[in-house]
Amino acid sequence: MNYKNALCFILIGLIVLFSGCTQKKGTNEQDNHDYQNDVTFETATETAKPRSYVKQGFFSVSEIQANEMINAVINSKDLWSEGLEDNQIYFMEFADLNFDGQIEFIVCDTLFDDKASFHANAYYLNNGQLKKANIIEDINPMNGYDNYYTAYFDKTSGQYVVIGHNYTQPDEQHYEDLVYQLLFDGQTITIEHLLNKTTYSTDKQSESDNQYTYYRFENEVASEISEKDYKEALSELEENDNWVEIIKSPVEDRNVKYDDWKSASSSDKEQLLFDALSTLSYDIYVSDSE
């Protein structure tokens, strides 16, 4: 009898012990599951959090960069003045078209007064020598580009964006304002057209009689849009709260008039170029997590 009682107690004890372990295991699994959910949620939230960018100093041309560029400009005059008479060279300036810290030399001419406000070509440094940048522009090819733009820093993408205008007059009664984005990969400038406002004017005096047509480009194909859609799209480009204006071009204080330069002495030519280079500066933005 005692033996049977003892056996019963042992069995009951095992059952209770097993039940407790199972319950504890279930609790641990649930706790672990909750923890994993918490970690996953926190990680996802952290990943989805948009980056923010802060201003961290500014770019300015170093003395080494300036000297290398000045020597290249003086030694490569035959290259950047090729095909231009002295009276066709308007002014020269310096830029960093893709904001990579490398400088480009810009020559604006008067070849296309009726088609571009500031027709220009860009030259970049390669082993101390100037090289002419290629230009890709499908809509209005003219062996150059219109050097009239504003550069912004996009705080959402962390990229610099260059938005320009090309004012043209296809004929006596039509005027166009082509809005474009300028992209530069270090050797080639690509002009991607975004918007176009066409004005038809019969007398060139009375704006009330003007007729306007608006277009949006997608893959360089224009589609007519309403005035409202045009203004909204233009505002998104030029009045975007997430875009910080960085630099404009052209600016008189940053350029060298060719008439002044060609008549200057050798040392004064170098000084004019150096003064223009010294004014080239823009703000640098970095992620606040860096």
What does the DSSP assignment read for 110-121? STTTTT-TTEEE
Give pLDDT, residue 7: 39
Reading phi first (left if > 0) and then psi (alpha if -120 to 50, else beta), residue 139 is in: alpha
Q: Quick check: is 44 in a domain? A: no
Q: How many angstroms separate the CA atoms of 210 and 204, rounded?
A: 8
Residue 210, judged by CB atoms within 10 A of its CB (0-12, 13-18, 19+), counts as: middle
Give pLDDT, residue 115: 60
Give pLDDT, residue 204: 63
Q: Quick check: is 208 in a domain? A: yes
Q: Quick check: is 10 in a domain? A: no
Give pLDDT, residue 141: 74
From residue 185, alpha-carbon distances to 63, 96, 136, 150, 211 in Å are: 24, 11, 12, 18, 38
Q: Quick check: is 118 in a domain? A: yes
Residue 41, judged by CB atoms within 10 A of its CB (0-12, 13-18, 19+), counts as: exposed
Q: Which domain holds residue 80?
A: 54-287
Number of structural domains found in the chain: 1
Q: How many angstroms separate the CA atoms of 99 and 79, rounded?
A: 24
Residue type, 63: E
Q: Quick check: is 87 in a domain? A: yes
To the nearest 10 degrees (0 to 180), the angle between helices 266-278 and 63-75 is 130
From residue 270, alpha-carbon distances to 68, 186, 266 in Å are: 11, 25, 6
Per-residue pLDDT of the chain (290 residues; tens, 9 = 90+): 444 444 344 444 444 444 444 444 444 444 444 434 444 434 444 455 668 899 999 999 999 999 999 999 999 999 999 999 999 999 999 999 999 999 999 999 998 866 657 899 999 999 999 999 999 987 777 788 999 999 999 999 999 999 999 888 888 888 899 999 999 999 999 999 999 999 998 776 667 778 999 999 998 899 999 999 999 999 999 999 999 999 999 998 899 999 999 999 999 999 999 999 999 999 999 988 76
From residue 286, alpha-carbon distances to 106, 155, 183, 239, 290 in Å are: 27, 9, 20, 22, 7
Q: Quick check: is 15 in a domain? A: no
**Tokens representing 130?**
């100037």
Q: Quick check: is 11 in a domain? A: no
Q: Quick check: is 282 in a domain? A: yes
